[in-house]
Amino acid sequence: MTAEDRTTIRSEQGCEVVRLHGEIDHGNAELVERDVLAATRAAAGVVIDLSGVTFLDSAGLRCLDHLVTAFRNRQAPVVVVAPDQGVVRFTLDLIGFLPGLLASSIDDALAELTA
Amino acid sequence: MADPPQPADPFVPLLEESAEDLYEGAPCGYLSVLPDGTVARVNQTFLDWTGYRRTDVLGHRVQSFYTIGSRIFHETHLGPLLHMQSEVRGIAIEFRRADGSRLDTLVNVVVRRNPNTGSTALRMTVFDATDRRSYERELLNERRRAERNAAHIRVLQEMEAHCASIDRAEDIVAPIVAAGTEAFDATETAVWLLHPQESVLTVAGPDAPATAPATLDESGPEAHAVRLADVVVFESPGPDARAVTPLVADERVLGVVSFGFPAGRRIAADEVQLMRTIGRQAGQALERVRLHEETARRAWQSAYLARLSRALDEAVGSADRARRLVALLVPELGEYAQVSLVEGEQAEGTSSSVRSPTGGTGPADGVIAAGSGGPWPISAQVRAAVRSGGGAPVPLAGPDGRRGLALPLRARNAMIGMLLLAGEPAASSDRSEPDFLLDLADRVGLALDNARLAEQDREVARILQRSLLISERPTDSRFQVATVYRPAVETLEVGGDWYDTFTTSTGSVGVVVGDVVGRGIRAASAMGQLRSAVRAVAKTRCSPATVLRHMDDFVTTLEAGQMTTLAYAELALDTGVLRYACAGHPPPLLLPPHAAPRYLWDGRSGPLGTHTASRSRREAELSVPRGSRLLLYTDGLVERRGERIDQGLGRLAEALDARRTAPLGALAQQLSDAMLDGEGGHDDTCLLALAFEAAPRFHADVPAEVTRLSPLRARLHEWLAGCDVPEPEQYGIVLACSEAAANAIEHGYQSDPSGVVSVTATIDGDILDLRISDSGRWLAPQASADRGRGMALMGRLMDDLVVDRGEGTSVLMRRQFRRTTR
């Protein structure tokens, strides 16, 4: 899977929406992290959309961790989108990860960032 | 008779006559004629006969009293003859009387010579020959007539001989025309045949001119002769004369012969008589030929109908029958035939949307045709005409202008379709007469309808059976069931075979295969009831023998269930104890995991509903190892014509042994195919295979590369789904496994791809055991937040987590999941 397939980035309402696809595991988490950081500019806010992610393991969690930290360092507020009932939300909930940064949809996330 | 007359006294005076008186009153005419022909003397008799006065005659030449012909005869014959021989006798001379009429006479002439003077005179005696001449004339006429009669008789005989040798009605034309020409010198002879049903005369014969048919009420001589039933002669006023004689047989007029003549030709009475005779003889010949044709036609028709019926009976299904029908109709009865079956128009309001079971063109799909130039569209008008026509053929014109006939196909007081025939039949057009077509259409209608009803029955039975056979089936990872049902191939008919699987309240799985006697709806519905009954009885804590006893009771209320055979077995899933009983049914076949297949011959008793059997229901019990397979089947699977049943059982055991490692579903299909291969399939068959599974096990050896994690997860996911692990559980198990494997790769092998991570999973009931092993050397555990997170995930996903370090490292995890689809 190429970086382009895994990651798509677009601008919306002054925020950057980073959409991740497929599996994020020990095999590719570091690549995903690098791709996303390289492709994003400092923005008013960043949405990391995990709606298209079908698998997320502890390496994926670490990747998210690093991304959130990096965006915060760039002074950009971050919201992570993980649909309720999805497998990603299942993993995040299981480990109790980033509860304050989670949103159920992109609209919710954008609303939170632009409020 | 009285005495001959005596010369009596009263005549005496008459006999005493003077010579003068004798001369004048002689019974012949007497003329004395001078050599130049001048009459010198004449007696009274001649004057009386001719009506002349004496003075009219004397002094005139005798020739002047002749008719012209006699005068010439006198000059050319009589004169020279007298000159040569002085006497002639018996010469026929015709005198002209005073009133102009003719007097036929015979004349004797003698030349008298006066020796003294040397002069000569003629003495003529004249005898009245009127009677004689007319007699002669009559004789001549008679002879002519006799000659003509002889010719006529020859004509008649020739015609009769010709007529006797023909066997087609139209062949009668040629001999009649020949007779007309020969007997009457007719310029034209035409034969018109009467079509009894249509009351129309048409000109017959191979060279018949295209003359419009004549109806019987026309004024022409032909129609007149038919009405009159006798010869009609038209001598005027037309430009030509015409005589028409009816062709008569048994007082019935079959047609007429019309002879044409040049204008002015008179038709003699004997010719009329001959025409009449010709009409009779030809009429009888025609009648004979028609009878012959009729007989031949009837014979052909009944043979054809028989052939048709046979052919239709051989086909299964109304669509197949319709296809056969049109194939047989062309070219025998026409150049094109088409059948369209009406759908959903039965007299009763029953649904009839039956599709062809063979998947071919169903009767509902429209038109089935044979021959060229189809299909013909049938207008609603024609349809209505056919429907209301009472079975009579309805003529119609096709798209290419050809003429056709539409016939209703009827059965059971309803029109089930329409048959269309177009073009000429192969042989004689008489073949397709309306009565015959009607008969044919009725037979065909019934045959098609029977097929349709049979299809309907089959379809209902099939639906019934399918609905019963494909009902809910228990799922449990500890056993697997595969089934095959095949209807009888020859008839596509559903029988009463059934199978069933269910779990009992004691944690066993019950399997049953049964066979109800008979076929069709009755058998299928009996089967349905029996199946439900077995299920209901066996689900409670019943032993197999008790199940059979209950079923014995049950079939006393179900006549169609009598003599049903069945095999019932239940397998305790925890212990592997198999209990079974056979009621008149072929024995179950057991295939242990590492041994040859063997039939289970114990636990046998008779079919359901038999008294002796019901008193001695038996069952048997044995323990079967995990991995065993058990086969239940109906007799159709092992019965083959010309083969003993034990041979069939031997074949089945061999076939099973040869496929012992095949997946269960494929095994059932393959066994069914192998056993029924080459066999007509005269019976339906049913096969049920039960696998007592060893605990399901997953194993994978994965090279120590993180990119291998994704394929590993996919495989494990698939296996879990196959083991009916509930969907929500699957993701957690896969995640835990992936984390453990990732740890082994990263920490055990430091991502050295030559290392191998071994993953094993087993499921027993609803317990999953997962083991991930590596043979790497772990560095001292780092207090890394990442790794801790992985372990935390595993710990939360699984019920138990044990890390076993020895030669390498094994992570053991266990999870009890909730089955939701029980």
Is the Cβ pair B796, A59 closer than 8 Å? no
> Going along B262-413, which residue ranges are E strands?
336-341, 367-371, 394-397, 403-411
Report pLDDT digits (tens) over A3-19. 557 888 888 888 899 99
Closest-CA distance, A62 to chain B, in angstroms, reads 7
Nearest by CB to residue B731, choosing from A25, A58, A87, is A87
**Nearest CB partner across the interface for A62, out of B732, B739, B786:** B786
Cross-chain Cβ contact A26/B746 below 8 Å? yes
The per-residue pLDDT for B236 is: 62
**How do residues B313-327 score in pLDDT, each as one tens digit?**
888 788 888 888 888
pLDDT the model gives residue B822? 39
Tell me the mean pLDDT in the region B734-760: 91
Mean pLDDT for B736-764 is 89
Q: Which residue has the higher pLDDT, B287 or B713?
A: B713
**Chain A residues with CB inside 8 Å of B795's CB?**
none
A23, closest residue in chain B (CA to CA)? B710
SS3 of B351, please? coil
pLDDT at B443 over 60: yes
- The C-alpha of B707 sits at a distance from chain A's nearest C-alpha, in angstroms, of 5
Token pair, residue A39, equals: 């492709």
Q: Which helix (H) or strand (E) holds B530?
A: helix B520-539
Report the residue from A55, A90, A94 with minimal CB separation from B713: A55
Contacts of A26 in chain B (CB under 8 A): 706, 709, 742, 745-746
Residues of chain A that touch chain B, judged by Cβ-Cβ distance less than 8 Å: 23, 25-27, 55, 57-59, 61-62, 87, 90-91, 94-95
The domain B333-460: what is its CATH number?
3.30.450
List the single residue in A with minimal CA-CA distance to B746: A26
**Which chain B positions have a beta carbon within 8 Å of A55's beta carbon?**
710, 713, 734-735, 738
CATH 3.30.565.10, domain B697-816, yes or no: yes
Distance of CA A8 to the CA centre of its chain: 11
pLDDT of residue B821: 45
Q: For B640-688, how does the pLDDT look when each residue is reduced to its tens digit (9 = 90+)? A: 878 888 899 999 999 999 988 887 878 888 898 888 876 656 677 889 9
**CATH number of the A3-114 domain:** 3.30.750.24
Residues of A in contact with B731 (CB under 8 A): 87, 90
Contacts of B707 in chain A (CB under 8 A): 27
pLDDT of residue B655: 93
pLDDT in tens, A31-81: 999 989 888 876 678 999 999 999 999 999 999 989 999 988 888 889 999
Q: How far apart are the first and last CA of chain B?
A: 141
Mean pLDDT of all residues in B216-226: 82
Over range B440-469, report the average pLDDT. Answer: 77
Residue B57 has a pLDDT of 92
- Determine the Cα–Cα distance for residues B702 and B700; give it in Å rounded to an integer: 6
> Which of the listed CATH numbers 3.30.565.10, 3.60.40.10, 3.40.50.300, 3.30.1310.10 matches domain B471-692?
3.60.40.10
Residue of A nearest to B741 (CA): A26
Are A62 and B793 a contacting pair at CB < 8 A? no
Residue given tokens 């073949």 in the structure block: B431
Span B755-793, pLDDT tens digits: 999 998 988 667 788 999 998 887 665 556 666 788 888
Residues A59, B786: C-beta atoms closer than 8 Å: yes
Query: Smallest CA–CA separation between A21 and chain B, in Å?
Result: 14
Domain with CATH 3.30.450.20 in chain B: 19-128
Q: Which of B46-60, B65-79, B631-645 has the highest mean pLDDT?
A: B46-60
Cβ-nearest to A25 among B709, B786, B796: B709
Element (H, E) at B257: strand B252-261
Answer yes or no: is pLDDT of B194 > 70.
Answer: yes
Confidence at residue B55, expressed as pLDDT on a 0 to 100 scale: 92
Nearby residues of B647 by Cβ (< 8 Å), 6 or more positions away = B640
- Range name among B195-209, B360-374, B623-637, B789-803 with the lowest pLDDT average: B360-374
pLDDT (0 to 100) of residue A20: 93
Task: Write out chain A residues lying below 8 Å of B745, CB-based.
Answer: 26
Q: Give yes or no for residue B350 having a pLDDT over 50.
A: no
Q: Exposed, middle or buried: residue B499 (CB in 10 Å: 0-12, 13-18, 19+)?
A: buried
- Residue from A55, A61, A64 whose CB has the most chain B CBs within 10 Å, to mutate: A55
Give yes or no for residue B596 having a pLDDT over 90: yes
Q: Identify the closest residue of chain B to A66 by CA–CA distance.
A: B786
pLDDT of the residue at B734: 95
Per CATH, the number for B146-293 is 3.30.450.40
d(CA B712, nearest CA chain A) in Å = 12
Nearest CA-CA distance, residue B789 and chain A, Å? 6
For chain B, give every residue range classified as CATH 3.60.40.10.
471-692
Contact yes or no for B234/B240 (Cβ under 8 A): no
Between CA B48 and CA B50 the distance in angstroms is 6
What integer pLDDT is reported at residue B568 of this predicted model? 95
Interface list for chain B against chain A, based on CB atoms closer than 8 Å = 705-707, 709-710, 713, 731-732, 734-735, 738-739, 742, 745-746, 785-787, 789-790, 792-793, 796-797
* Bond preceding residue B663 cis, omega within 30 of 0: no
Q: Evaluate whether B788 touches B750 at the Cβ level (below 8 Å).
A: no
Residue B785 vs residue B235, higher pLDDT: B235
Please give the CATH number for the structural domain made up of B19-128: 3.30.450.20
- As annotated, the residues of chain B forming the CATH 3.30.450.40 domain(s) are 146-293
pLDDT exceeds cutoff 90 at B733:
yes
- Could you tell me what percent of chain B has a pLDDT over 70? 86
Distance of CA B722 to the CA centre of its chain: 56
Q: Between residues B454 and B636, which one has the greater pLDDT?
A: B636
Helix (H/G/I), strand (E/B), else coil: B69: helix
- Strand A78-81 relative to strand A46-56, pairing: parallel
Query: What ipTM does the predicted assembly reach?
Result: 0.92
Count residue pairs from A and B with Cβ separation < 8 A.
53
Q: Between β-strands B577-583 and B87-96, what pairing exists: parallel, antiparallel or unpaired? A: unpaired
Phi, psi of B384 (to 5 degrees): -65, -40
Which range, B237-246, B496-505, B627-636, is most confident? B627-636
**What's the mean pLDDT in B1-25?**
67
Residue of B nearest to A24 (CA): B710
Contact A58 B793 (CB under 8 A): yes
Between chains, do B742 and A62 touch, taking CB under 8 Å as contact?
A: no
Contacts of A59 in chain B (CB under 8 A): 742, 786
C-beta atoms of B789 and A61 within 8 A? yes
**Range of weakest confidence among B115-129, B256-270, B358-372, B534-548:** B358-372
CB contact under 8 A, A61 and B709: no
**A27 closest CB neighbour out of B707, B735, B797:** B707
Could you say which of B738, B789, B796 has the minimum Cβ distance to residue A25?
B738
Q: What is the pLDDT of residue B15?
A: 64
Chain A residues touching residue B732 (CB < 8 angstroms): 90
A89 contacts in B (CB within 8 Å)?
Answer: none
pLDDT tens, residue by residue, B512-529 = 999 988 777 778 788 888
- At B817 the pLDDT is 82
Work out the minimum CA distance from A28 to partner chain B, whole angstroms. 8
Tell me the torsion sign for CA atoms B301, B307, B309, B312: negative
Q: Give B187's contacts (C-beta < 8 A, 6+ positions apart).
A: B240, B260, B261, B262
To the nearest whole angstrom, how far is the Cα of A23 from the nearest Cα of chain B?
Answer: 8
Is the pLDDT reported for residue B106 higher than 70?
yes
DSSP percent split of chain A into helix, strand, coil, nearest 5: 45, 30, 25
Q: Which of A27, A62, A91 is nearest residue B735 as measured by Cβ atoms?
A: A91
Looking only at the bridges linking them, the beta strands covering B565-572 and B200-203 are unpaired
Q: What is the pLDDT of residues B9-20, one digit of tens each?
A: 565 566 666 888
The alpha carbon of residue A97 is apart from the nearest alpha carbon of chain B, in Å, by 10
- Contact at 8 Å (CB) between B684 and B499? no
Q: What is the mean pLDDT of chain B?
A: 82
Contacts of B793 in chain A (CB under 8 A): 57-58, 91, 94-95
